[in-house]
Structure 1
Amino acid sequence: MQSMDLPKKEVSNYIPNDISFDILSKLPMKSLKRFSCVCKFWSNLFEEPQFMDIYRTSLFVSNYDDHHNSCFLFKKTPELGENQNEDNIVLLSGETFENKVKLDWPPPFEVYRGRIYIIGSIVNGMLCLCRGNGRGDHICINQEVILWNPFIEDFKVIPSGSFKHTILKAFPPDTIFEDLSKITTFVNIYGFGYDPIADDYKLIRNFCFIDNKKYELDPNDCIHDETLWQIYSLKSNSWRDIQVKMPNHILNSGWEQNGNAIYFQGMCHWWGYKDYYGEHVLVSFNLRNEVFITTHSNPNYHRLGKHMLVLKDSIAMIEYDESYNLFISVLGEIGVAESWTRLFRIGPLRCSINPIGVGINGDIFLNRYGKIEKFNLNTNLIEEIGVTGRIKKCQMVICNNSIFPIGGIHG
């Protein structure tokens, strides 16, 4: 039997732009940076209006896989004129946040003794809450720390450890604690997260020492070189020292973070300062190998304020300036300042704003003169969501219901 030769078809290696744009828009920034060397066209993706429209649409939607079941926790400090002795936390849910439920703080925090802060992100349904005790014995500490699952009302008090013993370890051996009466010690919790290799939840804190006499002369030149870092393990329920070097001036006050810190892929991230004049640095701490990585921000990006978040498996920041503009940038690789890519500029908006969180479908939450509003990137519409709180004293985090008790994780 004579074989029949099938007609040959030419195979094209050309991929239409709409198909390639759709595929590439689903990738994290690190992958897009890596693939920019494939061809000249791909290296200029962020200059293509068509691609930017697609990327903007997918940027927030893909941020939460189960967004229909998501809700938000809104921590507010009352506005001036309201009851100042009370921080509130409200559960927001529903398509238009029509469901608002004020939650009770866990028992350790029911009685007011200072402002309450959320440290970092919600991790597997757990919040890390921190409260300042004020000043005593020349120690300014936020030692009241708990882990809390608000959905099942389970909590665990984190032990503070021996502060005097810990502080002495940071100074020469012949130092006695009474010699430190001229020193003010600040203890700040900087991050809360999960170590997937050790299957353990961890906290990181820092002891920073201020020379009171020098502070009176120059507040910008009063920090001792001595510093101390500690890690808390939920498995062992204890703190331990870690041997790391991190210049004190690169740190930010734990109170200044006010929600501007996150946990992402085994690392805790927060903003610090490169110097005393305010240039921002991203500080990242790997919970597994206990190593710091710093990423300088682009000097051209310096604005009035920054809000950190995670978008499409990448660290991102929302900035705002004195002209009421918002800027959204994404980091391609931790430790590489050149990998910051500015994606969007929004505005100018009609008034001063302060970003406090990000939602789904292109929503950014703003605090405008004490009123919380939702700004949608896709429609450019702003609408109030029916809650209020003092400017720069509010935090909003997205969360999913978790039924796992903290004691059941590591009894």
Structure 2
Amino acid sequence: MTNEELKARNKLNHIHDDLAFSILSKLPLKSMKRFECIKKSWSILFENHNFMKMFRNNFLSNNNDSDSSNTFLLLNDVDPPAPPEQYRDCSFYLFSSESERFDNRIKLDLPFSIDNFGYGIFILGFNSINGIFCVSREGPLRLRIVLWNPTTAEFFVIPPSPEECVPPYRSPFMELIGFGYDHIRDDYKVIRYIKFLPTTDEEVDVPLKDRSFDPVLEIYSFSSNSWRILDIDMPYTYIDEFCNGTGVHINGMCHWWCRRYSSLEEYLVSFDLINEALIATPASLDMYEGCKLGQMARHLVVLNESISLISNCPETSTFHISTLGELGVEKSWITLFVVGPLPFIECPIGVGKKGNICFKTYDDEIVWVDLNTQIIDEIGVKGTRAECRTGIYKKNLFPIGGINN
């Protein structure tokens, strides 16, 4: 082949960067990361302002929410009334599928009662799974957990864990961190993180094996209607003091935020409901910019079918929204959006349709923030502290546990 023929062939095989960038901007984040090694200009795509603008627009437009899905809003009262055996009231609303304006709301009453001890009502994961919510009461004593289908008003009370699961000489402190669906076994599962506190002093003669207070993961299976301890090494401790959003679920996996023992290193811990295995993804060091390690406020969400993290330093009013491209790979965290500074915004409380983020202001107003335009839209209702949540609800007429039947 002559030099002229070789040049002509290379010219035909060459794709101009503008066209390549347009194609790449439509790919999932994981696929894009795999193409970084092909060309130098592709390795620095996330530093390219024009490319990032295209990618953000495509990311938000790839919204898989169906027309039948709604945004829900959960509100809890400001303060628990006295005496302590009484508890905070709650209001549960669905926005219509056409709008997220509060004037299109539908109020739903809970068809069941929750234990009187604790704080506000808690929806694990803040999204429905096959139209099912996992509902409990916030606080260390989650004495009752309920699966609820608002469409059919059906609910199922999960039984307590057997007493033999609690080792002697220890007092369990439980945190609900995961609710998900195992599509292989057609089974709903709940994950609970348990740490044990000693109930005796050092002078009491306690066997050495019973002085071990290692935390455990406990899993509930709807199909067997039973709890069991997972035989999994847990080198991480669940954190919630700076993490307002707890576990989320997507594609058969539950995800929550943890810190490695004896260090301040933070991780996204993911639990495969099918294989019952853990995957840890380190937090990117870029997430700590302008904030001390271990003090970043976190809010884990599912944004357009992607694991995303809304984070900010408590002393600032700028919120960084990062998306994970691949589990277990630290460098696959990409900061897609920076919202702010918004000095009147206190914290995010969840997501809605079309990729909008819902925030609560310091005046307790609930507002939507459009990630593309950063336009702020008040919905005309007040929330209380951080105890209001929004998320996506999709209707389901099947009974609980009857998805494949």
TM-score normalised per structure 1: 0.82
Q: Is the 8 A contact 1:29 1:314 kept in 2?
A: no
Matched, 1:128 2:134: yes
Q: Distance in 2 between matches of 1:239 and 1:406?
A: 18
Let me know the Cα RMSD of the aligned residues.
2.9
Aligned-partner Cα distance in 2 for 1:307–1:154: 30
Stretch moving more, 392-401 or 256-265: 256-265
| Identical positions, percent | 38
Instruction: Name the residue aligned to 1:220.
Output: none
| Kept after mapping to 2: 8 A contact 1:30/1:314 | no
Aligned partner of residue 354 in structure 1, secondary structure: strand
Aligned to 1:309, which of 270, 284, 301?
A: 301
Structure 1 residue 368: Cα displacement: 0.8
1:405 to 393, 399, 402: 399
Cα distance per residue 1:264-298 (max 9 Å; x no partner): 12110011123477543211111111111222212
Partners of 1:279 and 1:82 in 2: CA distance: 39
User: What residue is the counterpart of 2:111 in the other structure?
Assistant: 106
Q: Matched residues in 2 for 1:251 and 1:144: separation?
A: 21
SS at match of 1:406: coil
Distance 1:154 1:360, change over 3 A: same
Aligned to 1:217: none
Please list, as runs of the form range in 1=range in 2, the aligned pairs for 1:286-365 lying within 5 A after superposition. Answer: 286-302=272-288, 304-321=296-313, 322-365=315-358
Q: Is the 8 A contact 2:187 2:401 kept in 1?
A: no
Separation in 2, partners of 1:395, 1:17: 42
> What letter corresponds to residue 386 of structure 1 in structure 2?
G
Structure 2 vs 1, CA of residues 377 and 237 (structure 1 numbering), >3 Å: closer, same or farther?
same
Are the equivalent residues in 1 in contact too, given 2:188–2:221 (CA < 8 A)? Answer: yes
CA distance in 2, matches of 1:410, 1:341: 36
Q: Following TM superposition, by how much is the alpha carbon of 1:144 offset from its aligned partner in structure 2, in angstroms?
A: 0.5
Quick check: 1:27–1:312 contact (8 Å CA) kept in 2? Answer: no
- The unaligned stretches of length 5 or more in structure 1 are 1-8, 135-139, 169-176, 215-222
**Would the aligned equivalents of 2:187 and 2:223 in 1 still touch at CA under 8 Å?**
yes
> Which string of whole-angstrom CA distances, capped at 9 and with x for unpartnered residues, describes residues 205-230 of structure 1?
2321013678xxxxxxxx95333332
User: Are 1:85 and 2:88 an aligned pair?
Assistant: yes
Contact 2:246 2:300 in 1 (8 A): yes
Alignment of 1:1-40 (within 5 A): 12-40=12-40
Tell me if structure 2 keeps the 8 A contact 1:189–1:206.
yes
For structure 2, which runs of at least 5 residues remain unmatched after alignment?
1-7, 202-210
- Identify if the C-alpha distance between structure 1 residues 227 and 151 changes in structure 2 by more than 3 Å, giving closer, same or farther: same
Verify: 1:206 aligned to 2:200, yes or no: no
What is the distance in 1 between the residues matched to 2:255 and 2:243?
Answer: 11
Q: Whole-Å Cα distance in 1 between the matches of residues 344 and 193 of structure 2?
A: 37
Query: In structure 2, what residue type is equivalent to 1:206?
Result: Y
Against the structure 1 CA distance between its residues 256 and 185, is the aligned structure 2 distance closer, same or farther, given a 3 Å change threshold? farther
Structure 1 residue 166: Cα displacement: 0.8
Which residue of the partner structure matches residue 383 of structure 1?
Answer: 377
In structure 2, the CA distance between the partners of 1:104 and 1:289, relative to structure 1 (3 Å rule), is same
Distance in structure 1 (CA, Å) of the matches to 2:198 and 2:393: 41
Which residue pairs with 1:41 in the alignment? 41
Structure 2 residue matching 1:42: 3-state secondary structure: helix
The answer for the alignment partner of 2:183 in structure 1 is 196
Deviation at 1:40, TM superposition (A): 1.4
- Amino acid across the alignment from 2:215: T
Query: Structure 1 residues 207, 347: closer, same or farther in 2, change over 3 A?
Result: closer
What is the rounded CA distance, in whole Å, between the counterparts of 2:64 and 2:371 in structure 1? Answer: 16
Return the alpha-carbon distance in structure 1 between the equivalents of residues 385 and 108 of structure 2. 21
TM-score by length of 2: 0.83
Structure 1 residue 116 corresponds to structure 2 residue 106: no
Which of 99, 124, 133 is the aligned partner of 1:95? 99
With 14-23 and 314-323 compared, the bigger mean Cα shift is at 14-23
Pairs aligned (count): 373
SS of equivalent to 1:106? coil
- Contact residue 149 and residue 155 of structure 1 kept, 8 A: yes
- How far apart, in 1, do the equivalents of 2:79 and 2:19 lie? 53
CA shift in 2, pair 1:276/1:87, >3 Å: farther
8 A contact 1:201–1:235 mirrored in 2: yes
Quote how far apart the aligned CAs of 1:112 are.
4.6
Residue of structure 1 in register with 2:152 after alignment:
152
